[in-house]
Amino acid sequence: ALFDNLSEKLGGILDRLTGRGSLSEADVDAAMREVRRALLEADVSLDVVRSFTERVREQAVGATVVKSVTPGQMVVKIVHDELIATLGSDGQTIDLNAVPPVAIMMVGLQGSGKTTTTAKLARRLTQRDKRKVLMASLDVYRPAAMEQLAVLGRDLDIQTLPIVEGQKPAQIARRALEAGKLGGYDVVLLDTAGRTTLDEEMMSEAAEIKSTANPHEVLLVADSLTGQDAVNLARAFDERVGLTGIVLTRVDGDGRGGAALSMRAVTGKPIKLIGTGEKTDALEDFHPNRIAGRILGMGDVVSLVEKAAANIDAEKAARVAEKMRKGQFDLSDMRDQLLQMANMGGISGLMGMMPGIAKMKNQIANAGIDDKIIKRQVAVIDSMTRQERKHPDVLKASRKKRIASGAGVKVEDVNKLLKMHRNMADMMKAMGSGKRGPMAGIAQA
């Protein structure tokens, strides 16, 4: 399967890393040679491999090897996290936020799985998302392609635009959107014609359809087995037509799979969906962590290191607790806490980490902390000077106004944050005056 090489090769080399304390340059270089070789074998493009290993190297050399893991395991974790970062963030889905009918245009080479994917997407939007979907084939060169979509539509009980001979692709697109409007459709899927190779005619036709239909999404359907070619294709389509996302097909296959990695790195466009089989239900969301796990085949190592790293976080938290106890909890500490909250999956994660802080749960809930708000609050703190973070009580109205506009929030939000900080600091002081610090349990957790 995908990337078998990498996990085997890495496994071998990593077992040999035995240093302690922090990762040495020699250790990391040895590991990076294997990573580089394996990625190249997986058909990841050279540029991407180069910048990938460089980023991993930067993070790995000198990185502290946390207690209870080996240096090799530490490297795996860093490679894993960087794979995820390169593959893009989670939860990139099809965006339907537009006035219906929302047009989605599918582009790609012939044989990439475009028509099948169009039907798969139509099925998902219909059955799972309860949208009314119209499919239209714009492939005027191959009557069989139009018929193929019509057959799929009949099987799935999804409408396809009636075929009218002699129309140009852009005319068909216009007709599809009109039919979509008249028929009260939520989504119109435009399955454009592919060619066997990338050519100018295909590009200019796609560009024309795009300017006619003004699609909300332009999805490149690319065969993950074609590796480097798929990447060049993605780049060309993006430059010429403009893409909003990528669908990788045949991820179920035995390919070398480097395309996923390069594609995202080269175009910067998110992989939104993956095709995992011939049937119309074989369409899945793209989860970078799953792919990264598959690439490394070392899921247990990753969770081991994560656990060990969580202990380190706990030690950090204990230090903050000490500051709290002494009444020195300032806005910079609060910023750290907020970011940690966001990292740990919001408020409930934090509560799990800090037994002593559970009492504050309502307080924090009343202050209305969720992850979006956390980001805003951090932005407010970032707009302050160091001195202001240490002594927020010196803030005058005029400064608050500035800070608010710097962070793109209202003055009320700044006041709310300051109040929350005061409450937290007071409460911590009160709790800290007891025998045990507010989070005394953490160091042993």
Residue position matching structure tokens 């090769």: 9
Chain centre distance of CA 277: 23
Backbone angles phi, psi at 73, to 5 degrees: -65, -35
What's 135's DSSP letter? E
User: Least distance (Å) from ligand GDP to the CB of residue 35?
Assistant: 28
Beta-bridge partners for 249: 223
- Is 114 a residue that touches ligand GDP (CB under 6 A)? yes
Q: Which of 264, 254, 298 is nearest to 42 (CA)?
A: 254
Q: Is 194 in the site for ligand GDP (CB under 6 A)?
A: yes
Annotated ligand binding at 88? The verdict is no
| Per-residue binder mask for ligand GDP (CB under 6 A), 158-187, x = binder | ------------------------------
Interface with ligand GDP includes 252 (CB under 6 A)? yes
Q: What distance in Å separates the CA atoms of residue 182 and residue 307, rounded to the nearest whole number?
A: 56
Which of residues 72 and 108 has its CB atom nearest to ligand GDP in the complex? Answer: 108
List, as one string, the DSSP characters of 44-92: --HHHHHHHHHHHHHHHTT-B--TTS-HHHHHHHHHHHHHHHHH--S--
Asked if 257 interacts with ligand GDP (CB under 6 A), we say no
* Distance spanning both ends of the chain, measured CA to CA: 39
What residue type is 300 in one-letter code?
A: D
> Can residue 249 be called a binding residue for ligand GDP (CB under 6 A)?
yes
Q: Please, which residue, 253 or 327, has the CB nearer to ligand GDP?
A: 253
Closest distance to ligand GDP from the beta carbon of 288 (Å): 18
Binding window for ligand GDP (CB under 6 A); candidates: 247-255, 325-333, 388-396, 425-433? 247-255
Quickly count: other Cβ atoms within 10 Å of residue 26's Cβ.
11
Is 43 labelled a binding residue?
A: no
Among 12, 62, 91, 111, indicate the residue that binds ligand GDP (CB under 6 A): 111
Contact call for residue 116 and ligand GDP (CB under 6 A): yes
C-alpha to C-alpha distances, 294 to 275, 283, 289, nearest whole angstrom: 16, 18, 8
Q: Phi, psi (5° rounding) for residue 22?
A: -135, 160
Our finding on whether 110 is near ligand GDP (CB under 6 A) is yes
Nearest residue (CB) to ligand GDP, 215 versus 432: 215
User: Is 109 marked as binding a ligand?
Assistant: yes
Answer for the pair 187, 134: CB distance below 8 angstroms, yes or no.
yes
| Residues 139/192, Cβ–Cβ less than 8 Å | yes
Per-residue contact flags (x/-) with ligand GDP for residues 281 to 320, judged by CB under 6 A: -x--------------------------------------
Q: How many residues lie near ligand GDP (CB under 6 A)? A: 18
CA distance 89 to 247: 15
Interacting residues with ligand GDP (CB under 6 A)? 108, 110-116, 194, 249-250, 252-253, 275-278, 282
**Binding residue ranges for GTP:** 108-115, 191-195, 249-252
